[in-house]
């Protein structure tokens, strides 16, 4: 269709018999959709040229002037049973006086998959953080971290717990190899109390501390701190057994019940 040759254009809306607009090309007209119902419509354009030939073109379109509609709780073709709770929100429309974003937000519940995703991400982040967290050696020997490490190691075996406690609480003085520091801190390797078949003295010294004693001819100026407040029965047993079975020591081990008994008897020096 060549517009220059045509002399008439008629525009029809839907199935109307009367044209909505009639003019000679080229030209424009305004289609006012505010009088139209929301939904599908079509324009039928008929152009007639000077010799009477007609060109027809049909353009379907959709009007949406009314408010937007959001539905939660029912989707197309859902299969439903009994009572169904459905949340419906309507917002905005081309002719609403002003746009209120708050109204456009349908207060639908957060979908389960969002929760599941969120919780998995957080759980993974925590797991990863704990896995990767390695304190610096200085920090690892502070009371704060030592306490934390004891809590965090819940699932460790008693032997691992004993070794770790010795490292964090005792090795600064008695040394990681149990040799102590000559004339300053006594060795644990081969020590008479640590290797004695009766563990009572070992337990008492670890729980209640000691000072000014002479061991194998050496009188120690430094003090052996009391651990009665810091170590639980299980922890005390673990660290005592670590000393009883490390560096060539091979003494009978103790149970947390034995620790509990001596703890309840109290400090013999007081
Ligand atoms: C601040 C340094 C220090 C720390 C930390 C320390 N000790 Fe001691 N320990 C000593 C000193 C000093 C002695 C000797 C004290 C004395 O009897 O006069 C000693 C003595 C001992 C004895 C007795 C040895 C003997 O033959 O009489 C045992 C057992 C012992 N410590 C175990 C431990 C354990 C277990 C830990 C960790 C929970 C620990 N110590 C932490 C300084 C320390």
Alpha-carbon span 241 to 34, nearest angstrom: 89
Looking at residue 65, its pLDDT comes to 85
The residue nearest atom 7 of ligand 1, judged by CA position, is 224
Is residue 226 lining ligand 1, measured as CB closer than 6 Å?
no
Per run of 10 residues, the mean pLDDT along the chain (length 270 residues) is: 64 91 82 87 91 91 86 87 86 68 72 93 93 74 64 69 94 94 94 95 95 92 94 95 95 94 82
Q: Are 202 and 244 in contact (CB under 8 A)?
A: yes
Looking at residue 215, its pLDDT comes to 93
The residue nearest atom 25 of ligand 1, judged by CA position, is 193
CA torsion 153-154-155-160 (nearest 10°) is 50
Whether the predicted model's global pTM rises above the 0.95 cut: no
Could you tell me the two tokens for 29? 């007209």
Is residue 247 lining ligand 1, measured as CB closer than 6 Å?
no
| Ligand 1 geometric centre to CA of 173 (Å) | 8
Using the atom order of ligand 1, give the atom closest to the CA of residue 220. Answer: 18
Looking at residue 35, its pLDDT comes to 85
Looking at residue 28, its pLDDT comes to 81
Alpha-carbon span 90 to 17, nearest angstrom: 35
Is residue 193 lining ligand 1, measured as CB closer than 6 Å?
yes
DSSP for the chain, written as a single string: --TTTEEEEEEEETT-SS-SEEEPSS------GGGSPSEEEEEEEEEEETT--EEEEEEEEEE--S-EEEEES--TT----S----EEEEE--TTSSS--HHHHS--PPPPHHHHHHHHHHHHHHHHHHHHH----HHHHTSHHHHHHHHHHTTTS-HHHHHHHHIIIIIHHHH-TTS--BTTTB--STT-HHHH-SS-HHHHHHHHH-EES-EETTEE--SEE---TTT--HHHHHHHHHHHHHSTT--PPP--HHHHHHHHHH--TT-
Looking at residue 95, its pLDDT comes to 67
Looking at residue 2, its pLDDT comes to 47
pLDDT, tens digit (0-9, with 9 covering 90-100), for 222-270? 999 999 999 999 999 999 999 999 999 999 999 999 999 999 988 776 6
Looking at residue 251, its pLDDT comes to 94
Domains assigned to the chain: 6-63 (no CATH), 68-104 (no CATH), 132-265 (1.10.760.10)
| Ligand 1 geometric centre to CA of 225 (Å) | 7
């Amino acid at each position: 269709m060549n517009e220059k040759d045509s002399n008439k254009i008629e525009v029809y809306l839907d199935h109307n018999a009367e044209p909505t607009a009639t003019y000679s090309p080229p030209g424009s007209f305004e289609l006012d959709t505010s009088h139209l119902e929301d939904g599908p419509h079509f324009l039928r354009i008929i152009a007639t040229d000077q010799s009477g030939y007609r060109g027809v073109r049909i353009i379907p379109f959709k009007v949406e002037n009314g408010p937007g509609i959001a539905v939660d709780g029912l989707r197309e073709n859902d299969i439903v049973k009994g009572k169904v709770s459905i949340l419906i929100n309507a917002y905005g429309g081309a002719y609403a006086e002003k746009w209120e974003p708050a109204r456009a937000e349908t207060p639908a519940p957060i979908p389960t998959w969002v929760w599941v995703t969120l919780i998995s991400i957080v759980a993974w982040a925590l797991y990863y953080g704990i896995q990767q967290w390695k304190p610096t050696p200085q920090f690892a020997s502070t009371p704060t971290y030592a306490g934390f490490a004891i809590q965090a190691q819940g699932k460790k075996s008693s032997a691992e717990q004993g070794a770790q406690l010795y490292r964090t609480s005792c090795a600064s003085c008695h040394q990681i190899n149990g040799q102590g520091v000559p004339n300053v801190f006594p060795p644990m390797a081969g020590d008479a109390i640590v290797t004695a078949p009766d563990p009572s003295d070992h337990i008492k010294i670890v729980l209640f501390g000691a000072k000014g004693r002479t061991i194998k001819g050496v009188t120690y100026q430094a003090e052996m701190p009391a651990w009665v407040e810091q170590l639980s029965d299980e922890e005390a047993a673990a660290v005592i057994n670590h000393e009883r079975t490390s560096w060539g020591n091979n003494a009978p081990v103790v149970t947390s019940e034995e620790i509990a008994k001596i703890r309840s008897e109290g400090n013999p020096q007081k």
